[in-house]
């Protein structure tokens, strides 16, 4: 899986493919390749490594064709080698295909094809599809779209397929089942991509393919069909992002740029949700009659950083609404036999809107009768079509693989939802509601204040960049900040880091403390303040060096700190938004001290579209 680009038109395909693939590099990948149709043949070039390796391989080659496909791969079947990179071909090398997702029954299909005389050159599940298409065309002398329509009938799993054929040089055929795929048309060209940034230079009007949909893309236009061959309407979505939003804008890395974009991301996400009378509005959420009144349980499902935003939101939702909240990793949710009914509200969180595990979880919840609401950053993504209602985080495109601004925007969106539920159910006093909304409206300015202490954070990063292990501790909502901080550090600096509830140290983790081990301590609120500082004393007594994240002016925290990150005071349940920014900066500067690329950490993908 990872990035897909396709072009058909009157100009050369290769420059468009390479440009689009570069714009999808944020997804993370381990190899890249292109296939171009010219002179009734398909030329395939592919290389393990980053796009630079492919570009070097292409240097001096003549590929004048006007139809082509490109792919950046994140390995799921087969090691990241030249041979396993996409595109893949059939035996005759006249059909080329790129693919995101997983063909679950590829072993059975491969065995059948081998018995029929097909020869495979890779370990991938993708190559199976190329041979299946070849087999049908050989038997029926049909067009590519007819063959693809027949092939999808036997495929099991999630996939986005993009195919070209030497004998049909003006045509690209696409198919989607779960894995995201979009198409577009502009100025005599047809376009295909797995992500919006690849198309923005050419068009703002995109067509997201639905599940079980096939498309025929030509320079003259787009035709869509369902898997049974029935023609479907072509519905466009207008994208308001501009190209500048997908560029670094003077910052050294996308991650740093996106950290500094967080104040605006919060403003944009909150915009229109709070009126002057102190009421919360969710105008885009159309609740079915009686849903709000009968909710007796909320379940949050998410993966990775989105899981941590759900963990933080659990505190505010329960405190403000008095509705019990369960939190589940989306990858585990379906397998624990959860108890759901029409009184359950399930919140699915996915910044891309395409996370396969989260999509599967909310589809399961919907089948069980639960009301499903999604929180996502991408209009037109799969999760928006699977949920009964959607709250968008208006953070704009996020290029860095490690989530930053989308995470903070998720927290604001989830807190907005919590306040709305409290308002509609009458579980929060009017004065407390206004007080909390006022505090939320102050957050963008306070994040700017946190960004102003980046010099303190950089100094600490320089001091501890050579650490082999870092422990993050906190209590209450501070524990969730600790877990997110640990994830960020391990993601982009490759330092082993763990987030713990500080009260659990004595039950095992304190055995890891030895002189010089850095411990990042999150001090939030007054409820557990003394207990938290006692936990800090425990690790200091065993030789740990402490990095304290605490409200501005906290002298007791300062006295216990080897390094101190001060944040503006706010309501306790909102402090994670400010505390997290310091740890994003810390992870970023540690990675830079180690000479690593924070935008493209190894082995990670921005949008995980396989389970």
pLDDT at 610 (0 to 100): 56
What are the DSSP calls for 447-458, one per residue?
Answer: HHHHHTTHHHHH
Annotation says 142 is catalytic: no
pLDDT tens for 144-171 read: 999 999 999 999 988 999 999 999 999 9
Rounded to the nearest 5°, which phi and psi values hold at 163? Answer: -130, 145
- Please give the angle made by the CA atoms of 270, 274 and 278, to the nearest 5 degrees: 145
Query: Hey, CA dihedral for 419, 425, 427, 432, is it positive or negative?
Result: positive
∠ CA 414-483-25, rounded to 5°:
75
Class of domain 248-441: alpha beta
Distance CA 90, CA 144 (A): 13
Question: Residue 427 contacts by C-beta under 8 Å, 6 or more apart in sequence?
Answer: 320, 321, 322, 421
Global pTM reads 0.71
Q: Cα dist. 283→290, 375, 387, 424 in Å?
A: 17, 15, 16, 13
Residue 187 backbone phi and psi in degrees, to 5? 50, 50
- Determine which of 13-22, 393-402, 518-527 has the lowest per-residue pLDDT on average: 393-402
Q: Determine which one of 2, 89, 163, 303 is catalytic.
A: 2
Residue 606 region, left (φ>0) first, then alpha (ψ -120 to 50), else beta?
alpha
pLDDT in the model for residue 321: 96
Neighbouring CB atoms inside 10 A of 250's CB total 6
Distances in Å between the Cα of 415 and the Cα atoms of 266, 283, 441 are: 12, 16, 12
* pLDDT band per the 50, 70, 90 thresholds, residue 608: low
The DSSP-derived string for 295-328 is --EEEEEE-HHHHHHHHHHHHHHHHHH---EEEE
pLDDT band at 399 (very low <50, low <70, confident <90, very high): confident
Asked if CATH classification 3.40.50.300 holds for the domain at 452-599, the reply, yes or no, is: no
Domain 2-244 has CATH 3.60.20.10: yes
Quick one: pLDDT at residue 244? 59
The residue-averaged pLDDT of 525-539 equals 90
SS3 48: strand
SS3 246: helix
User: Residue 73 in contact with residue 85, Cβ under 8 Å?
Assistant: yes
Give the strand pairing for 157-165 and 205-208. Answer: unpaired
Confidence category of residue 7, pLDDT binned at 50, 70, 90: very high
Rounded Cα distance, 340 and 369, in Å: 7
| Strand residues in 9-77 grouped as ranges (E) | 31-38, 41-48, 67-73
Is pLDDT of 502 > 90? yes
Of 120-124, 176-180, 550-554, where does mean pLDDT reach its minimum? Answer: 176-180
Strand order in the sheet with 231-232: 88-89, 95-103, 157-165, 172-177, 213-218, 221-226, 231-232
**What does the longest C-alpha to C-alpha distance in the chain come to?**
80
Contact 294, 343 (CB under 8 A): yes
Which residues lie below 8 Å from residue 168, measured CB to CB, with a gap of 6+? 143, 144
User: Which one-letter DSSP state was computed for residue 271?
Assistant: T
* Structure confidence at residue 605 (pLDDT): 67
β-pairing verdict for 237-238 and 205-208: antiparallel
Residues shown for the chain: 611
The answer to whether 452 touches 500, Cβ cutoff 8 Å, is no
**Average pLDDT, integer, range 309-318:** 96
Distances from the Cα of 471 to the Cα of 455, 460, 485, 498, 537, angstroms: 22, 15, 10, 5, 14
Q: Which of 100, 124, 114 is nearest to 2 (CA)?
A: 100
Annotation marks residue 488 as catalytic: no
pLDDT of amino acid 584? 98
Q: Which of 150, 257, 600, 606 does the annotation list as catalytic?
A: 606
For the cut 80, the answer to whether the pLDDT of residue 603 exceeds it is no
Q: How far is it, in rounded angstroms, from Cα 462 to Cα 335?
A: 43
If you average pLDDT over residues 38-63, what whole number do you get? 93
Query: Is the per-residue pLDDT at 107 higher than 70?
Result: yes
* Residue ranges in 281-404 assigned as alpha helix (H): 291-294, 304-321, 330-333, 356-367, 382-386
Predicted confidence band of residue 262 (pLDDT cuts 50, 70, 90): very high
User: Residue ranges per domain, the chain?
Assistant: 2-244, 248-441, 452-599
Percent of the chain exceeding pLDDT 90 equals 76
* Topology agreement, domain 248-441 and domain 452-599: yes
Whether pLDDT at 265 is above 60: yes
User: Nearest-CA neighbor of 252 among 241, 262, 260, 244?
Assistant: 260
Residue 27 has pLDDT above 80, yes or no: no
Residues 66-99 as b or e (16 or more Cβ within 10 Å = b) = bbbbbbbbbbbbbeeeeebbbbbbbbebbbbbbb
**pLDDT (0 to 100) of residue 505:** 86
- pLDDT of 380 reads 74
Partners of 567 in the beta sheet?
551
Helix (H) or strand (E) holding 40, with range, is: none
pLDDT at 611: 60
Angle at the Cα of 99 from the Cα atoms of 98 and 103, rounded to 5 degrees: 140
State yes or no: pLDDT of 260 exceeds 60. yes
Q: What are phi and psi of 80, to 5 degrees?
A: -75, 85
d(CA 584, CA 567): 14
């Amino acid at each position: 899986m990872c990035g897909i680009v396709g072009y058909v038109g009157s100009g050369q395909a290769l420059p468009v493919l390479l440009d689009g693939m570069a714009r999808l590099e944020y997804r993370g990948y381990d190899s890249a390749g292109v296939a171009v149709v010219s002179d009734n043949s398909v030329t395939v070039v592919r290389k393990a490594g980053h796009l630079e390796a492919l570009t070097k391989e292409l240097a001096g080659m003549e590929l004048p064709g006007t139809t082509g496909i490109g792919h950046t791969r994140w390995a799921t079947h087969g090691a990241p080698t030249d041979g396993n990179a996409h595109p893949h071909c059939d035996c005759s090398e006249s059909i080329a295909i790129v693919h995101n997702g997983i063909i679950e029954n590829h072993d059975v299909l491969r065995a059948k094809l081998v018995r029929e005389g097909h020869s495979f050159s890779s370990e991938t599940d993708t190559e199976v599809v190329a041979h299946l298409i070849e087999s049908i065309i050989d038997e029926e002398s049909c067009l590519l779209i007819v063959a693809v329509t027949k092939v999808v009938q036997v495929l099991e799993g999630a996939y986005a397929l993009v195919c070209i054929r030497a004998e049909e040089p003006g045509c690209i055929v696409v198919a989607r089942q779960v894995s995201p795929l979009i198409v577009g048309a502009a100025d005599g060209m047809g376009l295909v991509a797995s992500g919006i940034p690849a198309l923005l230079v050419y068009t703002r009007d995109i067509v997201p393919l639905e599940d079980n949909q096939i498309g025929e893309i030509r320079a003259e236009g787009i035709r869509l069909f369902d898997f049974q061959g029935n023609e479907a309407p072509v519905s466009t979505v207008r994208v308001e992002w501009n190209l500048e939003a997908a560029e670094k804008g003077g910052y050294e890395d996308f991650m740093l740029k996106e950290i500094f974009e967080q104040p605006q991301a919060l403003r944009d996400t909150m915009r229109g949700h709070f009126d002057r009378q102190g009421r919360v509005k969710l105008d885009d959420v159309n609740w079915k009659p009686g849903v709000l009144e009968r909710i007796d349980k909320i379940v949050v499902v998410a993966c990775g950083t989105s899981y941590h935003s759900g963990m933080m939101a659990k505190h505010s939702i329960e405190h403000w609404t008095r509705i019990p909240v369960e939190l589940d990793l989306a990858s585990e949710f379906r397998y624990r036999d959860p108890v759901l009914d029409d009184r359950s509200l399930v919140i699915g969180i996915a910044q891309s809107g395409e996370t396969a595990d989260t999509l599967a979880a909310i589809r399961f919840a919907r089948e069980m009768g639960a009301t499903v609401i999604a929180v996502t950053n991408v209009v037109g993504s799969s999760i928006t079509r699977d949920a009964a209602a959607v709250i968008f985080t208006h953070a704009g495109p996020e290029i860095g693989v490690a989530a930053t601004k989308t995470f903070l925007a998720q927290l604001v969106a989830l807190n907005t939802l919590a306040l709305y539920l409290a308002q509609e159910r009458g579980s929060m006093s009017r004065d407390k509601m206004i007080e909390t909304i006022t505090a939320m409206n102050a957050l963008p300015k306070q994040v700017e204040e946190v960004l102003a202490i980046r010099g303190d954070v950089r100094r600490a990063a320089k001091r501890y960049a050579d650490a082999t292990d870092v422990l993050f501790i906190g209590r209450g909502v501070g524990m969730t900040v600790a877990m997110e901080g640990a994830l960020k550090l391990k993601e982009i600096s490759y330092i082993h880091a763990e987030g713990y509830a500080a009260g659990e140290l004595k039950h095992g983790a304190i055995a890891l403390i030895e002189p010089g081990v850095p411990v990042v301590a999150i001090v939030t609120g007054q409820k557990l303040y003394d207990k938290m500082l006692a936990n800090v004393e425990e690790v200091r007594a065993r030789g740990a060096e402490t990095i304290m994240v605490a409200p501005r002016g906290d002298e007791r925290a300062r006295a216990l700190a080897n390094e101190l990150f001060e944040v503006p005071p706010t309501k306790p349940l909102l402090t994670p938004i400010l505390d997290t920014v310091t740890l994003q900066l810390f992870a970023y500067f540690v990675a830079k001290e180690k000479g690593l690329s924070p935008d493209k950490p190894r082995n990670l993908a921005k949008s995980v579209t396989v389970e």
